[in-house]
Each structure stands twice: as C-alpha cells, then as structure tokens.
C-alpha cells in the first residue's frame, strides 16, 4: 500500500508527531498480522491503533462499532484527513448502501465501519471472503460480555469471526478494565493469542472536585457562571424527571441546555446530539444510565448532580470530559440523601450476591467522595493503580481541606442524640438542636430537653456536615435497618466527657476560585482572542462542509495555533493535528486569520 512507516503515517495523515505509549507497539503488532486486545481509558487514543494498521496492510479494515451515531463522525474525521472511509449501517438508504458495497468490492476503501448485525449477515460475510481484509477492529469490545455494563446480544455473533477469517488480525478495544469482563472478551472473541495492552488509567487533564450538596441547582448555576463562555459540558442526574427539571430550569435562565435520556424520542435525541457535537448546544443534562452516545472530544466539564452508584460508572462518565487532552473538570455534588436512594435500589435487588457486590461498590463511591486525601490517588487506587505522588490537580491537592476545632459542636451533637433517647434520625436531632417549634418536637416534649436550641449557632446543613463526619469517624452509628436512627458508639464517651478534642474538615460547597487555565495540551498559554477568531472560521467551514467543527480541527489544534501563531505553511504543519491533507484543504483559511491577527 501507499504507506510503510507508521511514524510517517502518524505525521502525514494525522498530523501528530509522537505516538502515545503503547500505540506504536500495538500498531506494529497488528501490521504484522497478529491479534491485540487494547484496554485504554477514554480519550487515550484507541482509534489510531486500528486506523494506522488498516492503512498499512493490504485490503480494507473493518471496524465494528455499536453506536450508529458515532460512525458518521469517525468517518467524517477520517475523510477530513484524506482517508478513504465509509460506514455501513441501518441509517443508510438503499442507494447509499449499494454505493458503499460497490466501493468495498472495487477495493477503494481503507476503512469500513459496520454495525455488528450487518457485518455478521451471511451475505456480507460472503462478500468479505472475496476481497482482501486488512483487519477486524472491535470497538467497545466489552459489549460482548454479560459482565460488562453494556452487554449487546448482537456482539456475541462476532465470536465467529476468528474462525471464519483465521488469517485476518483482530484487534479488540475497550475502556472497561475489570478483570472478569476482560477475560470474557478474550474468551468470546477467540483472542487467546492476542497481545494484551493495558495502559494507565490516569487522565491527568481532568480536575476532580467534590462539593457537599446543599442547594444543588444554585451550586450548578454558580459553577456554570464561573466558566468561560461557550464551554460545553454534561450534567448527569439520577432520574429522567430530575434531568427534565434541571434542563428546563437552565433553559429558563437563558443557558443553552437540553435533556437527554432513554425516554426522549429518537428524533429529539439525535437533534440534541448533533447540536452538542456542533458546538451549538452548551449543556446536555443526561441520566447516568444514558449518554453513551455522547462522544464529543471537547467536553470541558462533567457535573454529577447526584451520586453515581459506583466508581466504575463515575470514572467512565467523568472520562467523557477532555478527550482532546485540554484541561477539563469533573464536579461531583455529594449529598448524603443520595446514598439512601441508591441503597433502596440495592435493597430492591433480588439476587443477594449482586446486592452484596453493589453495596460494596456504593461504599467505595462514598469513601471516594468523603476522602480527605488526593482524589486521583483514591480513584486510581480503586482500579489497582498506584499513584506515586499526589496529583496536584484535584480539589484536595489544590486546596487542602481546612480543619476547625469542632469539640464543642460535636459534644452538642452527641449529647442531643443521647437526650432524645437514641431513637431519632439526623434531621430530627438537628431540629431539636436548633430549637425548632415543629409540632412533633413540641408534642414529644423535646423542647424541655437541656440540648433543645443549643445549636442555633449553625445552620441545618452545617450540622449535617458535622453529623456526617461524626458517623464517618465512628462516633455515631446510623441504624440503616431502623429509620436511620442515630446511636452513640463507645468512641463517643471520651469526647462527651471532655477527655478528647476533635478537629473536623470544614465542608466545601463552592469550588475554589482557581480557574482552569486556558492552555494547550502541553501547558502553554494561548491567545484567547485569536482562539475565538479561529473558532469562528472553524464554525463557518464546518457548517459549509456539514460536519461537526472538531472534524475540521480539534480544540487542541486551535489552542496550539493560538499559542504558536504560525504564519506560513511550514510552521502551520508543525501544529499537532495538522496533516498534509488538512494543510492543503484548510491551511490558507486559518493562516489568513492568524496573519490578520498578529
């Protein structure tokens, strides 16, 4: 074929100077005709691992992908780099489908993206036997496993490929790391001979922040207000109803936002997705169970309005931020009330084994949110990866929690639990502490207690923060089986008797003022005025070509242009993401903007 050195292809076709590890190793292996199984986080750069070998090996590379909506963008992006690519799925009309098959037959395609059921139809398999096939790439390979979180029955059929085409290398790719899923993928796809490549799961460009959930909508608004205009983000919430409500309230405030969940009609869903991809919609509010179809490289922030059920989902969802490598944020609003909601889901499960696993996972999620040490360390540790030093890019690292002497408040809290007879939940105890005139308090005579009204110094949510830490530190127990009644533990004694003092972390409800810097992926400051001007040309070109803006150039490329300000063709070619084809196609338009600007 026309290419023979992968590093040249990387530079000339894709405009990138260096492989990320372990891309090169994987690519070499597949070019040699051997199988590979690639486990890499979202945004890690999986696509090149099969795209480059497909350009090197004779024949067409067949890529299986579960999401029709993503195929078109991938194909557009390849075409924008001058690669002969097409897709074959149910979204094509009859004539279009025929023309794709003709190109396939005439060996005009480098890459063909196909839906699994189309690929595995007998007619199509017959066709493939007649032409050279460079490789099979199975994207989102975890979909083949029932252990995974996204099992797709049509993926199971793919297991036949290994036997039907013994000479064709197969590469499976996923961002799901857990061992059981991994073994299942190998087994079901027949990848026993595959080289397995697991790359680090860290996403250093994402800044993790956890806030105590107080008035979540106000917190969200405040957060959005602190963000640069035009930044795109996803807000995840637990239920459809909540998604609708948040999206509606945002829209009412003039923020461009839309709801996205399984109950939204197909038409509206693709409208939302398109608009978001095209940078015409700023915020997508989605249910946690949904949103896999949102695959946009320049998502700048992901907010969890409600607590996710486990760290696996949380990490996957936050991973949708910053796929382009630019600084991005993940914000979790952590409310104790959410734990109870998830717990009731779990209690409703029929299988006790599953209950146990889910409960354990929830516990890990809560521990992450409550952690007072580097978030990234906790997260990666959960996935079995040791972080050598603290990350310097999470709320705890950037702004270590402030501690205050809570001895007096803690004593008030504990003695009030004692005075009400260790028979009430947190909400009620706080009412008594703050001297509520609530009917229940009065009728039980709790306004006569010595602890009645001694906690007026703090607001109710400040008290919840203290109670939660007391529970977490083991001074109090919450009897989950019994209306979440609070009880003292043995540890509470010395504190109550004044033999011990206690420092607690001051809860945080606002992000630290430190703004995410506007820098390139390698950390260089860039010119924001120029960046906006470049975005504008990109928007026009994208509109004219009928593709999402990132297909023309990603934000990371624009950021480099705005940092280096190249004014001639050879300097422009130095920008990451500018290959030979794009230089010819778009170079002059962008150079004109830069020249005019400098």
Residues near ligand ADP (CB under 6 A) are 16, 18-20, 23, 40, 42-48, 297, 323-324, 554, 576
| Residue 228 CB contacts under 8 Å (≥ 6 apart), including other chains | 518
Say how many residues touch Zn ion, by CB under 5 A: 6
| Residue 44 interface partner, choices Zn ion, ligand ADP, none, CB cut-off 5-8 Å depending on type | ligand ADP
415 binds, among Zn ion, ligand ADP, none (CB under 5 to 8 A by kind): none
* Tokens found for residue 144: 């083949």
Tokens of 234: 């996803």
Task: Select from Zn ion, ligand ADP, none the partner in contact with residue 40, using the beta carbon and a kind-dependent cut-off of 5 to 8 Å.
Answer: ligand ADP
Residue 412: HSE in the Cβ half-sphere, 13 Å Cα cutoff:
20
Q: Which does 374 bind (CB under 5 to 8 A by kind): ligand ADP, Zn ion, none?
A: Zn ion
Sequence-distant (6+) residues with CB within 8 A of 154 are 115, 116, 117, 120
Cβ(166)–Cβ(278) below 8 Å:
no
What is the distance between the alpha carbons of residues 306 and 321, in angstroms, rounded to a whole number?
17
Tell the smallest beta-carbon distance from residue 200 to Zn ion (Å): 16
How far is 362 from 417, CA to CA, in rounded Å? 27
Nearer to ligand ADP, 22 or 116 (CB): 22
Q: Is 478 helix (H, G, I), strand (E, B) or coil?
A: strand
DSSP state, 394?
B
Which CB, 70 or 224, lies closer to ligand ADP?
70
CA distances from 317 to 188, 217, 295, 486, 498 (A): 26, 20, 11, 34, 46
Minimum CB separation of residue 14 from ligand ADP in Å reads: 7
Q: Binds 554, which of Zn ion, ligand ADP, none (CB < 5 to 8 A, cut-off by type)? A: ligand ADP
Rounded CA-CA distance 167/189 in Å is: 15
The option from Zn ion, ligand ADP, none interacting with 47 (CB < 5 to 8 A, set by class) reads ligand ADP
Binder of residue 53, out of ligand ADP, Zn ion, none (CB less than 5 to 8 A by kind): none
List, in sequence order, every beta strand (DSSP E) within 199-253. 206-212, 232-237
Cα(558)–Cα(533) distance, integer angstroms = 10
Dist. CA 306–CA 335, nearest whole Å? 7
Q: CB under 5 to 8 A by kind: which of ligand ADP, Zn ion, none does 300 bind?
A: none
**CA–CA dist 333, 217 (Å, integer):** 10
Subset of 138-197 contacting Zn ion (CB under 5 A): none
Q: Does 331 bind Zn ion (CB under 5 A)?
A: no
Query: For residues 376 and 315, is the Cβ–Cβ distance under 8 A?
Result: no
Residue 438 has a CB neighbour count (10 Å cut-off) of 14
Q: How far is the CB of 17 from ligand ADP (least distance, A)?
A: 7
Give the integer Cα–Cα distance in Å for 253 and 44: 36
Q: How far is the CB of 596 from Zn ion (least distance, A)?
A: 42
Minimal distance, residue 246 CB to ligand ADP, in Å? 27
Q: Which is nearer to Zn ion, 203 or 434 (CB)?
A: 203
Considering the complex, state which of residue 324 and residue 462 has its C-beta at the smaller distance from ligand ADP: 324
Residue closer to Zn ion (CB basis): 299 or 397: 397
Please say which residue, 49 or 237, places its beta carbon nearer to ligand ADP: 49
Question: From the CB of 240, what's the least distance to ligand ADP, in Å?
Answer: 27
| Contact partner at residue 394 from ligand ADP, Zn ion, none, CB < 5 to 8 Å by partner kind | Zn ion
Nearest to 231 by CA among 333, 327, 318, 306: 327
List the interface residues with Zn ion, window 350-379 (CB under 5 A): 374, 376
Q: CB of residue 230 vs ligand ADP: minimum separation in angstroms?
A: 19
- 495 makes contact, choosing from Zn ion, ligand ADP, none, with CB < 5 to 8 Å by partner type, with none
CB nearer to Zn ion: pick between 451 and 511: 511
Query: CB neighbours of 522 closer than 8 A, spacing ≥ 6?
Result: none
Output 117 or 390, the one with its CB closest to Zn ion: 390
Q: Measured from the CB atom, is 9 or 436 closer to ligand ADP?
A: 9
Cβ–Cβ < 8 Å for 178, 140 = no
Task: Tell me the closest approach of the beta carbon of residue 29 to ligand ADP, in angstroms.
Answer: 17
**Least distance in Å: CB of 88 to ligand ADP?**
20
Binding partner of residue 148 among ligand ADP, Zn ion, none, CB cut-off 5 to 8 Å per kind: none
Give the C-alpha separation, 425 to 483, whole Å: 7
- Of 272 and 378, the one with the shorter C-beta distance to Zn ion is 378
Q: What is the Cα–Cα distance from 541 to 349, expressed in whole angstroms? A: 51
The residues in 381-420 that bind Zn ion, with binding defined as CB under 5 A, are 390-391, 394, 397
Residues 6+ away with beta carbon under 8 Å from 86 = 75, 100, 103, 104, 109, 111, 112, 113
Q: Would you say 220 or 394 has its CB closer to Zn ion?
A: 394
Residue numbers of the site for Zn ion (CB under 5 A)? 374, 376, 390-391, 394, 397
């Amino acid at each position: 074929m026309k290419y023979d050195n992968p590093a040249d292809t990387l530079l000339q076709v894709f405009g990138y100077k260096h492989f990320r590890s372990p891309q090169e190793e994987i690519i070499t292996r597949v070019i040699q005709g051997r199988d590979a199984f690639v486990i890499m986080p979202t945004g890690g750069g999986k696509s090149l691992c099969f795209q480059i070998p497909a350009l090197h090996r004779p024949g067409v590379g067949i890529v299986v992908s579960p999401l029709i909506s993503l195929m078109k963008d991938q194909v557009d992006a390849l075409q924008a780099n001058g690669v002969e690519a097409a897709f074959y799925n149910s979204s094509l009309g009859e004539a279009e489908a025929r023309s794709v098959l003709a190109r396939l037959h005439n060996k005009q395609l480098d890459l063909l993206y196909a839906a699994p059921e189309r690929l595995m139809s007998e007619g199509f398999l017959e066709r493939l036997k007649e032409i050279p096939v460079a490789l099979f790439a199975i994207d989102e390979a975890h979909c083949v496993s029932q252990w995974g979180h996204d099992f797709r029955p049509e993926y199971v059929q793919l297991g036949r490929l290994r036997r039907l085409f013994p000479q064709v290398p197969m590469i499976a790719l996923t961002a799901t790391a857990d061992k059981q899923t991994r073994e299942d993928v190998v087994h079901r796809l027949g990848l026993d001979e595959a080289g397995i490549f697991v790359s680090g799961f860290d996403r250093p460009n994402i800044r993790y922040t956890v806030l105590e959930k107080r008035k979540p909508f106000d917190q969200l608004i405040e957060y959005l207000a602190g963000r640069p205009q035009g930044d795109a983000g996803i807000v995840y919430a637990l239920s459809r109803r909540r998604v609708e409500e948040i999206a509606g309230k945002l829209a009412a405030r003039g923020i461009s936002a839309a709801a996205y969940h399984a109950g939204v009609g197909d038409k509206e869903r693709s409208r939302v997705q398109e608009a978001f991809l095209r940078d015409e919609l700023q915020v997508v509010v989605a249910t946690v169970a949904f949103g896999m179809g949102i695959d946009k490289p320049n998502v700048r922030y992901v907010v969890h309005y409600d607590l996710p059920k486990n760290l696996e989902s949380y990490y996957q969802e936050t991973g949708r931020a910053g796929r382009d490598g630019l600084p991005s944020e993940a914000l979790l609003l952590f409310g104790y009330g959410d734990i109870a909601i998830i717990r009731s889901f779990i209690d409703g499960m029929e299988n006790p084994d599953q209950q146990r696993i889910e409960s354990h996972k929830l516990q890990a999620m809560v521990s992450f949110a409550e952690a007072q040490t580097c978030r990234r360390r906790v997260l990666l540790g959960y996935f079995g990866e040791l972080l050598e030093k603290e990350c310097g890019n999470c709320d705890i690292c950037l702004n270590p929690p402030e501690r205050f002497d809570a001895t007096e408040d803690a004593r008030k809290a504990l003695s009030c639990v004692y005075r009400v007879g260790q028979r009430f939940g947190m909400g009620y105890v706080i009412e008594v502490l703050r001297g509520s005139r609530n009917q229940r308090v009065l009728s039980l005579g709790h306004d006569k207690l010595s602890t009645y009204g001694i906690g007026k110094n703090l607001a109710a949510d400040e008290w919840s923060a203290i109670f939660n830490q007391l529970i977490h530190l083991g001074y109090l127990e919450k009897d989950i089986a019994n209306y979440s009644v609070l009880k003292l533990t043995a540890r509470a004694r010395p504190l109550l008797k004044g033999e011990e003092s206690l420092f607690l972390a001051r809860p945080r409800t606002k992000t630290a003022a430190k703004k995410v810097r506007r820098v390139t992926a390698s950390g260089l400051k860039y010119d924001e005025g120029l960046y906006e001007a470049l975005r504008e040309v990109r928007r026009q070109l994208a509109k004219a070509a009928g593709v999402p803006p990132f297909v023309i150039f990603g934000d990371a490329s624009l950021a480099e242009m705005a940092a280096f300000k190249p004014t001639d063709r050879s300097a422009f070619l130095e920008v990451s993401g500018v290959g030979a084809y794009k230089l010819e196609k778009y170079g002059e338009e962008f150079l004109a903007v830069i020249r005019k600007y400098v």
